[in-house]
Structure 1
Amino acid sequence: MEWRCAGLGWPGGVPVLRWAGGRSSALVYGRVIGFRAVGERRCVGARGNPCPLRAVVPARATQARCPECARLDRAFSVAADGVPDDPRTYRVYLAWFGAGLVKVGITAEERGAVRLLEQGAVAFCWLGRGPLMAARRTEELLRAALGVPDRVPYARKRAVRGALPGWAERARELAELYRRAVVLEGWAEALQRVEFEAVDHSAAFGWGEAVGGAAAGAADGVVRELVDGGVVAGRLVSAAGPDLYLAVAAGRVLVVDTRVLVGWELVGVDAGAAAGGGVTVPVEAVRGAAGGSGSGSGGGGEQDGLF
Structure 2
Amino acid sequence: VLRLRGEDLYLDRKRIRFHRRMKTMRRRLIPVPVRKKKRERKPGEWKREFNARSICSYPPEDVVIEGYGRYLQNKALQIKAEENTHIEPFTCSMSDGIDIRETIRDWARRKIYVKVERPLRGKVGSVVVIFDPDFADEEGKERFPWCVTWLGEHEQESDMAFYSTPAGEVMDGPGISRCQYGGFMLTYPPLRVYDIWKDPFFDFARNKPERLLIAALDYSVEKHVVYVSAAPPSGWCRSIAARLGKKIIYLPIGMFSPVTLKKIRQFHVLDGHPVRTYAHHYI
TM range (shorter): under 0.3
Q: Which has the higher contact order (CA 8 A, sep 6+)?
A: 1
Determine which structure has more spread, i.e. the larger CA radius of gyration: 2
TM-score, with length taken from structure 1:
0.20
Point out the structure with the larger strand share: 1
Which has a greater percent of helix?
2
